Amino acid sequence: MMNKEQYIESLRQYKPIVYLNGRLVESVVDDPMTRPHVNSAAVTYELAFDPMYEELMTTTSHLTGKKINRFTSVHQSTDDLVKKVKMLRMIGQKTGTCFQRCVGFDAMNSTFITTFNIDRECGTDYHERFKKYLEYVQENDLMIAGSMTDPKGDRSKKPSAQADPDLFVHIVERREDGIVIRGAKAHQTGMINSHEMLILPTTNLGEEDQDYAVACAIRVDAPGVVHLFGRQTNDNRRLDGDIDTGNSEYAIVGGETLTVLNDVFVPWDRVFMCGEYKFAQEYVSTFAAYHRQNYGGCKVGLADVIIGSAAAMAEYNGVKASHVRDKITEMINMAETMYNCSLGCSCQGTKTEAGSYYVNTLLANTVKLNCTRYMYEISRLAHDIAGGFIATLPYEADYRNPETKGYIDKYFSANPDFSTEERIRMGRLLENMTGGTALAESMHGAGSPEAMKIMLYRESNIDHKKALAKKLAKIDKITKKDEEKDYVE
């Protein structure tokens, strides 16, 4: 395993092409706009060596028998699924932001299952290829960026029907030594400070779309790969000091990119799907369920910090009203509801034929759907408690200026037990954790709300529920099909 310092130094060996605000980034480790994202991911390496968190952060490889970072593992039990959720909440509490390794973690676990299923039906050897690749990832403790989302173009059309074929990643050449792919992946969390990306299909595919049925692994700095770093709420504040960012050491969110693939070559030993379009939907659904499981972990960790900052702001403001306690209690209830859903889908997980463990899909989708609502409501209540103070604070530079600092200290003071600077720092933390970019990720990360609703309806077994109602209502027209649904889910 790598420690924090080794991870940071390992990134210096990679030279990804990254554009940010009209310029080329020379080093993702040293650039002040990207270093906080490196710091966030580095926590996942640092905590693996902390004896207090060893049980959550590490496990034993089922491939080599060696101790590995949990983020490179394949789940071997429901206990592994539960520990994943607990780990994500804990890291979220410590960083107050996205720590980026979850997407690759889920991509590897869904690839482990899907390659096994493809091989079983098609006689391919993708699963063995992937196991060898996974062993390489574990041996080197690599950070993998899971790459599923394509730009998608016209949402009413399938990939092969798009006006521009590159709006979905596709195979443009099959060679004796590998394949060549073209296109782009959008909203790519943690991409520029990852070591590799694992490309997955993004939607259900038909026979006409088989060139879009591709999964493979690529270095983030492979020839032909270009990254455009995404803008985040208040991102330039990190250039101005450490107060206005609210969380100066760590990133605002996951450092998402638009990653362009300009005819990128991939050798066969790194190709895990090549034209098997019938398995695309299974791939997507498997990944999505794993990723939606996460949100009751990592987002609840962030909610813990937001709740704490709101409670602190009430103290700093000198507010002791009973309605504040009621609002904080409601925030806690929503956070723990999301957490319960994540634990539930993990405890109800099952062993796959590939040998790994998979979450309960129905419950995993309840996690994320609740998150799309509750994180907004938690943020709204936090704003309510904190007051308008957090929205109109002067610049940090004015607070540092001797000519104006006295005015700010005087007129933004509140509870005399706390300094004005404490009040400002806490307000800025709350502002930045509940701002536009962070909330949008809570809504659309791991799929937009309608995707969860589709899966919930599909997985909920409505016919069985109707059969239960018919029996109790003593309706005679109970079909044989209904009788076959008579079981406890």
List the domain boundaries for the chain: 4-277, 283-463
Rounded to an integer, what is the distance from CA 32 to the centroid of its chain? 23
Q: Would you place residue 471 in the very low, low, confident or very high pLDDT band (cuts 50, 70, 90)? A: confident
pLDDT score at 479: 63
Q: Pick from 293, 292, 346: which is nearest to 77 by CA?
A: 346
Of 102, 216, 274, 341, which one is the catalytic site residue? Answer: 102
Give pLDDT tens digits for 182-192: 999 999 999 99
Q: Name the band, by pLDDT with cuts 50, 70 and 90, for residue 484.
A: low
Of 268, 296, 276, 285, the C-alpha closest to 113 is 285
- The share of the chain scoring above pLDDT 70, in percent, equals 97
- 98 catalytic? Reply is yes
Catalytic residue among 37, 95, 97, 98, which? Answer: 98
Instruction: Say whether 216 is catalytic.
Output: no
Q: Which of 269, 256, 283 is nearest to 444 (CA)?
A: 256
Exactly one of 256, 276, 396, 431 is catalytic; name it: 256
Least confident of 129-133, 346-350, 386-390: 386-390
Q: What is the pLDDT of residue 453?
A: 78
pLDDT band at 472 (very low <50, low <70, confident <90, very high): confident
Residue-level pLDDT at 454: 80
What number is the average pLDDT over the span 394-423? 96
Nearest to 243 by CA among 395, 108, 102: 395
Looking at residue 461, its pLDDT comes to: 85
pLDDT digits (tens, 9 = 90+) for 295-340: 999 999 999 999 999 999 999 999 999 999 999 999 999 999 999 9
Q: Sign of the C-alpha dihedral, residues 122, 124, 128, 130?
A: negative
pLDDT at 489 over 60: no
Question: Could you tell me which of 188, 190, 170 has the C-alpha nearest to residue 180?
Answer: 170
**Band of pLDDT at residue 477, cut at 50, 70 and 90:** low
Assigned CATH topology for domain 4-277: Butyryl-CoA Dehydrogenase, subunit A; domain 2 (2.40.110)
Residue list, annotated binding site: 189
Q: Which residues are annotated as a binding site for FAD?
A: 189
Task: Determine the pLDDT at residue 254.
Answer: 86
Cα gap 114→74, rounded to integer Å: 13
The Cα 197–Cα 189 span in angstroms is 10
Categorize the per-residue pLDDT at 481 as very low, low, confident or very high, splitting at 50, 70 and 90: low
The number of residues in the chain equals: 489
pLDDT tens-place string over residues 41-50: 999 999 999 9
Candidates 295, 316, 357, 374; catalytic one: 295
Q: Please report which confidence band the pLDDT of residue 444 belongs to, taking 50, 70 and 90 as the band edges.
A: confident
Average pLDDT score over residue span 26-35: 96
350-378: average pLDDT: 95
At 80-119, the pLDDT tens digits run 999 999 999 999 999 999 999 999 999 999 999 999 999 9
Q: Is the pLDDT of residue 424 over 70?
A: yes
Is 298 known to be catalytic?
A: yes
- At residue 58, what are phi and psi to the nearest 5 degrees? -125, 160
* Catalytic annotation, pick one of 127, 291, 345, 431: 291
Active-site entry in 298, 341, 345, 371 = 298
> How confident is the prediction for the chain on average, in pLDDT?
94
Average pLDDT over residues 204-209: 96
Q: What is the pLDDT of residue 446?
A: 65
What pLDDT does residue 46 have?
98
Task: Say how far apart CA 321 and CA 191 lie, in whole Å.
Answer: 45
Q: In the annotation, is 345 catalytic?
A: no
Please tell me the predicted confidence (pLDDT) of residue 213.
98
Name the active-site residue from 58, 189, 245, 361. Answer: 189
Predicted model pTM: 0.92
Q: Is 122 in the active site?
A: no
Residue 291 is a catalytic residue: yes
Fold type of domain 283-463: Butyryl-CoA Dehydrogenase, subunit A; domain 3 (1.20.140)
Backbone conformation region of residue 96, classed left if phi is above 0, alpha if psi is from -120 to 50, else beta: left
For residue 140, what are the CA distances in angstroms to 100, 199, 213?
18, 19, 28
Residue 441: pLDDT band with limits 50, 70, 90: confident
**Residue 315 half-sphere exposure toward CB, CA atoms < 13 A:** 12
Beta strand 196-199 with 271-274 is unpaired
**Does 295 qualify as catalytic in the annotation?**
yes
pLDDT band at 478, cuts 50/70/90? low
For 139-168, write each residue's pLDDT tens digit. Answer: 999 999 999 999 999 999 999 999 999 999
pLDDT at 284 over 90: yes
